[in-house]
Amino acid sequence: MALRLQEIDPENDFPALANCLFESYEEPLQKFFHVFFPIHGSGSEARDEAIKEAADRLKLWHTHDPSSYWQKVVDEGTGKIAGGALWNIHQQNPFENPPPSVPTWFPDDGSRRFVEKALENHSRPRSQVAQKPHLCKPKTRDNDVLPAYTFLDLFIIFTHPEYRRKGVGQQFMEWGIKKSDESGLDFYLDSTPYGRPLYEANGFTYIEENVNIPATENPDDKWKEIENKVGPFTFWLMWRPASGSKPSEAQ
């Protein structure tokens, strides 16, 4: 089975990518996924609608974000997408003047307030590391400062359950590590429990555990409903320095 890494075709690939994304996070089920890609309602129609909404939103994000770079791994025998990865190659600190992020994929009620808080908590560790000066001044091997780049960020990665442990995730990682080493970019990502073995096998270390428990003083019914559904969830901020150097050496 030949599994080939390719850049996506943004005009055509998002429906199949979104489908693969849902199936990847459903097996095993990761409850936090609902925060980013909710199914409103129940039954197969609601799920189909959610996948369609996700495909449209992913395409919109990709089109409007110059730092966005999507890849897929394709099973050349069947043409099926075996996995996908969304990178952000940040040329500016994305946390300096962040655009207002309103999770419009939730209705304007307590559920949206919950998700706003969850997203704020989720990005906190990375926004803190992004303030460190070494990230803004990567150097080439010749010691020239490259002010253009800040860091490489792996935002989404998934392998369809049928293709796990066949090196799909590894292909994405090898691309990212090469990019990081060539460009002098530190490489950051937020890991789920399922991602950690892949990252640890690739020389990442974890910087911070982020136990995400959105809180409010007056939770309404909609807040409580999504809180029960999602529960607290944990990510680990993982880091691999460019060319294996320590951050202090990269300044």
Residue 125 in contact with ligand COA, rule: CB under 6 A:
no
Residue 103 in contact with ligand COA, rule: CB under 6 A:
no
CA 154 – CA 203 distance, rounded (Å) = 15
Residue 180 in contact with ligand COA, rule: CB under 6 A:
no
Instruction: Name the residue nearer to ligand COA (CB basis): 125 or 184.
Output: 125
Q: Which residues of 210-220 are buried (b: 16+ CB within 10 A; e: fewer)?
A: bebebeeeebe
Q: Which of 122, 123, 150, 113 is CA-nearest to residue 135?
A: 150
Q: How many residues of this chain interact with ligand COA, rule: CB under 6 A?
A: 20
Residue 138 in contact with ligand COA, rule: CB under 6 A:
no
Residue 165 in contact with ligand COA, rule: CB under 6 A:
yes
Query: Of the listed pieces 34-42, 44-52, 106-114, 165-173, which binds ligand COA according to CB under 6 A?
Result: 165-173
Strand partners, 84: 72, 158
Our CA angle for 41, 42, 47, nearest 5°, is: 90
Contacts of 143 (CB under 8 A, 6+ apart): none
Residues between 10 and 69 that touch ligand COA (CB under 6 A): 24-25
Residues between 188 and 247 that touch ligand COA (CB under 6 A): 191-192, 194-195, 197-198, 201
Q: Which residues bind ligand COA (CB under 6 A)?
A: 24-25, 83, 157-159, 164-170, 191-192, 194-195, 197-198, 201
